[in-house]
């Protein structure tokens, strides 16, 4: 899986250098897809099908084929497409393997920094060959927090404004980086203490979520339940500031 992710990352890196050949479409307001996303997904599906025949797929760009298979790949061939278009970091390849109940394996390859994050269920989390651990930060005023502003801006704008109002000037710092999969891994690596976003898909969070949990982190939905795998609402943290952030989030009612 790591080698496949790296190979796809090499493809993305090469295509980014030949940007004039990239065709850009708008799936919805400000939500873009390129021919490179689709080609990357096709390559991923072929390689992963060869690795594990008779497996299903849940994929962002139309390659979903799940039909009762025991194992299923949950893939994002290019997470951070807008960053990719603008030659801005980060963007990554995300691959998770699931069975009927659990996420078993996760690999996220961040192309710009040549970093391969990976974990397996009941194992440790790694960045290349370095073991990962979340931070020990235990208060909001010391926390460095990643926010995500999803494309569903009408639904999410009240929460986005609320979080900025409650965190800006109160947390140690807030950032918007534009790649959920990569940023979940950054929480696992201790670069952030938490990340908050909604209106995502399972391909955005499956691999990075597993990596974060195996690094000692915590993930829930905005209600505090262990139902983050769909990506509908996702709070990811080092665990120590999780309940504090849930209290802030619950001050606003989201209506999807």
The reply to whether 256 falls in a domain is no
CB 56 within 8 A of CB 69: yes
Q: Which of 96, 131, 166 is the last residue of a domain?
A: 131
Mean pLDDT of 139-143: 97
Res 71: pLDDT: 95
Q: 62 and 39: one domain?
A: yes
79 and 180 share one domain: no
Tokens at residue 231, please? 């990506």
Q: Determine, yes or no, domain membership for 179.
A: yes
Q: What is the pLDDT of residue 94?
A: 98
Whether residue 148 is found in the same domain as residue 230: yes
pLDDT the model gives residue 174: 97
Residue 210 located in a structural domain = yes
Task: Specify burial of residue 105 (Cβ count, 10 A radius: 0-12, 13-18, 19+).
Answer: buried
Residue 254 inside a domain? The answer is no
Average pLDDT of every residue of the chain: 93
Token pair 């609402």: residue: 233
Q: Are residues 232 and 181 in the same domain?
A: yes
CB atoms within 10 A of CB 96: 29
Write the secondary structure of the chain as one string of H (helix), E (strand) and C (coil): CHHHHHHHHHHHHHHHHCHHHCCEEEEECCEEEEHHHHHHHHHHHHHHHHHCCCCEEEECCCCCCCCCCCCEEEEEEEECHHHHHCCCCCCEEEEEEECCCCEEEEEEEECCCCEEEEEECCCCEEECCEECCCCCCCCHHHCEEEECCCCCHHHHHHHHHHHHHHHCCCCCEEEECCCHHHHHHHHHCCCCCEEEEECCCHHHHHHHHHHHHHCCCEEECCCCCCCCCCCCEEEEECCCCHHHHHHHHCCCCCCC
Residue 178's φ and ψ, nearest 5 degrees, are 90, 15
Residues 159 and 122 in one domain: no
- Among 108, 131, 154, the domain boundary falls at 131
Are 30 and 118 part of one and the same domain?
Answer: yes
Provide the CATH number for the domain around residue 188. 3.40.190.80
Q: Which residue has the higher pLDDT, 59 or 133?
A: 133
pLDDT at 25 over 80: no
**In total, how many domains does the chain have?**
2
The answer as to whether 104 is a domain residue is: yes
Clarify whether residues 150 and 169 are in a common domain.
yes
> What percentage of residues in the chain have a pLDDT greater than 70?
93
Domain presence at residue 221: yes
Q: What is the mean pLDDT of residues 215-239?
A: 97
Report which of residues 169 and 21 the model is more confident about. Answer: 169
Give the pTM. Answer: 0.94
Region at 69 (left for phi over 0; alpha for psi -120 to 50; beta for the rest):
beta
Angle (deg, nearest 10), helices 180-188 and 202-214: 10
Is the dihedral angle over the CA atoms 86, 88, 90, 95 positive or is it negative? positive
pLDDT in tens, 30-71: 566 788 889 999 999 999 999 999 999 999 776 667 677 899
Give the rounded percent of residues in the chain with a pLDDT score beyond 90. Answer: 81
Q: Specify the pLDDT at position 170.
A: 96
Q: Is residue 255 part of a domain?
A: no
Kindly state whether residues 117 and 190 are assigned to the same domain: no
Q: Is the pLDDT of residue 238 over 60?
A: yes
For residue 175, report the phi and psi dihedrals to the nearest 5 degrees: -140, 150
Reported as a single tens digit per residue, the pLDDT across 72-128 is 999 999 999 999 999 999 999 999 999 988 999 999 999 999 999 999 999 999 999
* Domain end marker among 106, 131, 156: 131
Q: Are residues 160 and 111 in the same domain?
A: no
Instruction: Please say whether the beta carbons of 188 and 124 come within 8 A.
Output: no
Question: Is 96 inside a domain boundary?
Answer: yes
Least confident of 33-37, 182-186, 228-232: 33-37
Same domain, 205 and 102: no
Residue 64 pLDDT: 67
Please return the burial class of 197, using the count of CB atoms within 10 Å of its CB with bins 0-12, 13-18 and 19+. Answer: buried
Residues 31 and 122 in one domain: yes
Domain carrying residue 97: 2-131
Residue 23 scores a pLDDT above 80: no
CATH code of residue 23: 3.30.540.10
> Is residue 60 located within the same domain as residue 13?
yes
pLDDT recorded at residue 152: 83
């Amino acid at each position: 899986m790591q080698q496949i992710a790296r190979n796809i990352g090499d493809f993305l890196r090469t295509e980014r250098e030949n940007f004039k050949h990239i065709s850009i479409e708008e799936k919805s307001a400000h939500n873009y897809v390129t021919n490179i996303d689709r080609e990357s997904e096709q390559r991923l599906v072929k390689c992963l099908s060869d690795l594990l025949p008779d497996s299903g797929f849940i994929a962002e760009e139309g390659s979903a084929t799940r039909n009762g298979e025991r194992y299923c790949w949950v893939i994002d061939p290019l997470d951070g497409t807008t960053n990719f278009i603008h030659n801005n970091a980060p963007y990554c390849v995300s691959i998770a393997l699931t069975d009927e109940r659990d996420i078993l394996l996760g690999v996220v390859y961040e192309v710009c920094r040549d970093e391969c994050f990976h974990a397996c269920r009941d194992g440790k989390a790694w960045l290349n060959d370095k073991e990962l651990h979340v931070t020990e930060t235990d208060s909001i005023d010391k926390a460095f927090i990643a926010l995500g502003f999803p494309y569903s801006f009408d639904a999410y704008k009240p929460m986005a404004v609320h979080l900025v109002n409650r965190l800006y000037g109160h947390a140690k710092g807030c950032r918007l980086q534009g790649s959920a999969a990569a940023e979940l891994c950054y929480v696992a690596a201790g670069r952030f203490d938490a990340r908050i976003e909604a209106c995502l898909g399972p391909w955005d969070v499956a691999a990075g979520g597993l990596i974060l949990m195996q690094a000692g982190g915590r993930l829930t939905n905005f209600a505090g339940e262990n139902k983050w795998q769909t990506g509908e609402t996702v709070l990811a943290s080092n665990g120590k500031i999780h309940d504090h952030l849930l209290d802030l989030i619950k001050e606003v009612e989201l209506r999807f």
